Amino acid sequence: ELKDKQDKVVDENLEQTKILNRIEERYQTQVDVAQKNEEKTLAQNKWLVGAIWALVTIVMIAVITASITALLP
C-alpha cells in the first residue's frame, strides 16, 4: 500500500513537471515574440524620428530661402 502511494505521488509529480515545462515553453515563446515586437518598434521609431528631422530640415530651408528672398531688393 505504501508503494502504491509512493508511485501515485511520483506520477503526480511527473505530471505536474510536464505541465510546468509546457507553461515555461509558452512563456519563453511569448518573451521571444515580445522581444521581436520591441525590436520592430524601435526600428520604426528610429525611422520616424529620421523622417521628422528630414521634414523639419526641409521646412527650415524653405523658410530661410523665403526670408532671404524677401530681404533682397
Round the CA-based radius of gyration of the chain to a whole number and report it.
31
Give the pLDDT confidence score for residue 72 in this predicted structure: 84
Give the pLDDT confidence score for residue 73 in this predicted structure: 77
Range of the domain at 6: 1-72
Q: How many domains does the chain have?
A: 1
Give the pLDDT confidence score for residue 58 in this predicted structure: 98
Residues of the chain with pLDDT under 50: none
Cα gap 54→18, rounded to integer Å? 54
Give the pLDDT confidence score for residue 55 in this predicted structure: 97
**Whether this model's pTM surpasses 0.85:** no
